[in-house]
Amino acid sequence: KAGVTQTPRYLIKTRGQQVTLSCSPISGHRSVSWYQQTPGQGLQFLFEYFSETQRNKGNFPGRFSGRQFSNSRSEMNVSTLELGDSALYLCASSWGGLPPPSGANVLTFGAGSRLTVL
Amino acid sequence: QKEVEQNSGPLSVPEGAIASLNCTYSDRGSQSFFWYRQYSGKSPELIMFIYSNGDKEDGRFTAQLNKASQYVSLLIRDSQPSDSATYLCAVIISGNQFYFGTGTSLTVIP
């Protein structure tokens, strides 16, 4: 079955602009999580959506937002971009419900969207 | 204290040796434990998960969980150069929120 699809794969923006990233989860997965990855900080959790509701949220400023649609596709938006927002943004999907069918809610990652802010 | 801690390495082992990667976690309520591998420039991919005390084996990989010591490890037997990557430990404390360690960089020397 198809994996997690993220678009766009690469993008370059300038400070002050905004950006929207898209994620299509594995068919049947209802949970979508977003992570920011930078060389110094590792994988930082942004938020998780389940059935169109934000279920968990990390410690990022309000400039980072997201949403999930009825087909489980998700978008995240970053407004007023800063240089420090340059990173690899990873989306991961999982079944999300309890109890998980395979014993654990395994995260499957997309290829990521690499954002460069100039 | 971070939820998940890993030695960042780098860890170097010769080809054919056993690589041992370690991870500690802070919350005794942690439920499920995962090991992901990430090659440079790629996204993380699941190696295996474990949620019961003891060992779980999958091919050359063995995950070991000790909840009393809040410790989970990954052993890679017969290490190959293709195993050179960053290994990420992750735990679920509650619900579906994953906490990741910063990863251990492994280099297998031919």
Compute the Cα dihedral for B18, B22, A87, A21 and give only its sign: positive
Contacts of A24 (CB under 8 A, 6+ apart): A4, A5, A6, A73
Q: Are residues B1 and B98 in contact, defined by beta-carbon separation less than 8 angstroms?
A: no
Which DSSP symbol is given to A1? -
pLDDT on residue A72: 96
The rounded distance, in Å, linking the Cα atoms of A52 and A70 is 6
Looking at chain B, the whole-number percentage of residues with pLDDT higher than 90 is 78
pLDDT at A102: 64
In angstroms, the CA B90 to CA B99 distance is 5
- Contacts B102 to A, Cβ<8 Å: 41-42
Cβ–Cβ gap B103/A42 under 8 Å: yes
CB contact under 8 A, B44 and A50: no
Residue A101's pLDDT band (cuts 50, 70, 90): low
- The dihedral formed by the CA atoms of A31, A4, B76 and A101, expressed in degrees to the nearest 10: 40
Question: Which residues in chain B are contacts of A105 at CB distance < 8 A?
Answer: 32, 92, 96
**From the centroid of its chain, how far is CA A41?**
16
Give the pLDDT band (50/70/90) at residue B86.
very high
Task: Give per-residue pLDDT as tens, A14-62.
Answer: 999 999 999 999 999 999 999 999 987 789 999 999 999 999 999 999 9
Residues of A in contact with B92 (CB under 8 A): 104-105
Distance (Å, whole) CA A104 – CA A61: 30
**How far is A64 from B68, CA to CA, in rounded Å?**
38
Q: For position A100, what pLDDT does the model report?
A: 66
Paired tokens of B61: 């990989």
Confidence of residue B71 (pLDDT cuts 50, 70, 90): very high
Please report the sign of the dihedral spanned by the C-alpha atoms of residue B89, residue B92, residue B93, residue B96. positive
Confidence of residue B97 (pLDDT cuts 50, 70, 90): confident
Whether A56 and B49 lie within 8 Å, measured CB to CB: no
State the pLDDT confidence band at A117, using cuts at 50, 70 and 90.
Answer: very high
Tell me the per-residue pLDDT of B9-40, one tens digit each, with 9 for 90 and over.
899 999 999 999 999 999 888 888 999 999 99
Give the closest of B96, B100, B103 to A105, CB-based.
B96
Best mean pLDDT range from A46-50, A94-98, B49-53 = A46-50
Pairing of strands A10-13, A113-117: parallel
Amino acid identity, position A19: V
CA angle A20, A94, B93 (to 5 degrees): 105
